Amino acid sequence: MFGRLSLNTMTTKRWTLREAVEATAAAGLPAIGLWRDRVAEAGVEQAAKIVLDNGLRVSSLCRGGFLTGIEDAETALDDNRRAIDEAATLSAPELIMVVGGIPDRDLVGARRRLADRLAELVPYAAERDVRLALEPLHPVFCADRAVISTLAQALELAAPHPARTVGVVVDTYHVWWDPALADSVARAGAQGRISSYQICDWLVPMEADPLVSRGMMGDGVIDFGSISALVRDAGYGGDVEVEIFNESVWATDGVEILETMKQRYRELVLPAL
């Protein structure tokens, strides 16, 4: 029943990597999505061993990106190469890319720099068998986090590169509002580019900081049945990763979060997969 469900370590933010891995395995889940800060705390080789020893796979590594700066291009590229190396060591097939916002008012320029720097990273990632998974973020984050705002735009950026090297992320929080969603998900699937399906809910009213306004599935307004059906019809058969940024979730005991997450997945997502 939970053969595709993955815990993203951000959802249980207070746990160390080892705590998260062991609890995920104990909850009967097969996969875990890792953030680099938790990996760094454990050390990347050790993190890989902890995951392996507990019989889990790594659904994705979060995150590379922040490639839109004006003066720090080499620093950013170096950091992305390190993230690719870490993903390879962790046997994470997908490196989630949160590509960065706008350093000035030139949004078109920032998007152009992103395309150029992505092209620089692709060969390095391909050699290590890591796919760069471009994540469109909700347009509320366009200024400060990601100039990729729609799945259609992510596909356009991915187009020059083979599907095995550049994919796209479908995260319900970021794409649920998109009037072109059905078409874009179908195209992403037809191209074999769906790197990851991440789920969490859009709360109404929002929290003051949209970054931590994500909710557990069922606590907000997203129709998980419809979006999951789009992803299924697009041929995606990979993991379904639960990634929630939310202070009250973070204040909850991790084992309880895992139980709620399994229950909501079974009720709201699984019937459509």
Provide the binding-site residues for a second copy, judged by CB under 8 A. Answer: 102, 105-108, 111, 138-140, 142-144, 148-150, 152-153, 156, 176-180, 202, 204-206, 208-210, 221-223, 226
- Report, in Å, the least distance between residue 229 CB and a second copy: 11
């994500």: which residue's tokens? 214
Q: Which is nearer to a second copy, 58 or 230 (CB)?
A: 230
Nearest approach in angstroms of CB 145 to a second copy is: 11
Considering the complex, what minimum distance in angstroms separates the CB of residue 180 from a second copy?
A: 7
Task: Please identify, using beta-carbon distances, which residue of 181 and 244 lies nearer to a second copy.
Answer: 181
Q: Which is nearer to a second copy, 210 or 238 (CB)?
A: 210
Per-residue CA distances from 257 to 95, 148, 203, 238, 265 (Å): 25, 30, 17, 22, 12
> In angstroms, what is the minimal distance from the CB of 140 to a second copy?
4
Q: Which is nearer to a second copy, 74 or 209 (CB)?
A: 209
For residue 252, CA distances in Å to 31, 130, 153 come to 21, 33, 36
Q: CB neighbours (10 Å) of residue 235?
A: 12
Q: Is 273 helix (H, G, I), strand (E, B) or coil?
A: coil
62 Cβ partners below 8 Å, 6+ apart? 8, 10, 33, 34, 35, 36, 96, 98, 243
